[in-house]
Amino acid sequence: MLAGVATWNIHMGRGADGRRDLERTAAVIRALEIDCIGLQEVENHHHPGGDDLTRLAAATGLQAVPGPTLFKPGGDYGNALLSRWPVLRVERHDLSVPGREPRGLLIAHLQTPELRLQVAVTHLGLRPAERRRQVATILGHLPGDPTVPLLLLGDFNEWLLWGRPLRWLHHRFRPAPAPRTFPARRPLLRLDRILASEALRLHQVRAVATAASRLASDHLPVVAQVALGQCAPNA
């Protein structure tokens, strides 16, 4: 079975035109036709009738798993996962470095038709030392067994291919293509990635560069097909 997965930094729902438009964000997600998506920079305003993340889930037909890293009056901010598959268990881990923006790791245990799958979502810091510390912490929270079906989705803020954070991650996960995603209008940097454990195979990893996705955020979404059950080569 092939399933669709994605990761996207939605830039608080604010597009290149400066407007915050969650329906536009939802429309891009619906067009991806995926089973789960990790989101970063989710600005979640709380309203008397609910909150923005709940609205986004309803507009996409997916279940929301929040992973806030920053709490403020009237809402929160951070990571999230939207999933078509049932959520069995959720873990939230703090990756914050003193003096820097709070960061976190969200891990959702999902029941797919084929197997139980762990999907982790994160957004790393801007400084190299910060990212090194955060990746070391992430690896400590993930299962050490390479046969556990595991996906890591995120904005890694890492453009140096020889940097230690990526080298550590590539030692833990299968090599996978990393398309250019930032800035969305004319992408140069490979900041957003989908990584899979040895138990899984990725196909067709690509950035989605449509008129709608270029307008909706400053990052492009990355999508991939993941083989659940019988494995197939990366492509």
| Chain segment 57-106, per-residue pLDDT in tens | 999 999 999 999 999 899 999 999 999 999 999 999 999 999 999 999 99
* Nearest CA among 7, 43, 59, 10 for reference residue 212: 10
Please write the tens of the pLDDT for every residue from 109-166.
999 999 999 999 999 999 999 999 999 999 999 998 888 999 999 999 998 777 899 9
Whether 118 is in a domain gets the answer yes
pLDDT at position 230 is 56
Residue 107 lies in a domain: yes
0.85 exceeded by the pTM?
Answer: yes
Domain holding 195: CATH number?
Answer: 3.60.10.10
Domain count, the chain: 1
Environment class of 100 (CB within 10 Å of its CB; exposed 0-12, middle 13-18, buried 19+): middle
Q: In what order do the strands lie in the sheet with 116-123?
A: 87-94, 104-111, 116-123, 150-155, 192-196
Report yes or no on 40 lying in a domain. Answer: yes
Which residue range is the domain that position 72 belongs to?
2-227
Cross-strand pairs, 201 = 227
Answer whether residue 198 is part of any domain: yes
In a domain, 144, yes or no: yes
Residues 111 and 88: beta-carbon distance below 8 Å: yes
Say whether pLDDT at 23 is over 60. Answer: yes
Give a yes or no: residue 232 inside a domain.
no
Asked whether residue 234 is assigned to any structural domain, the reply reads: no
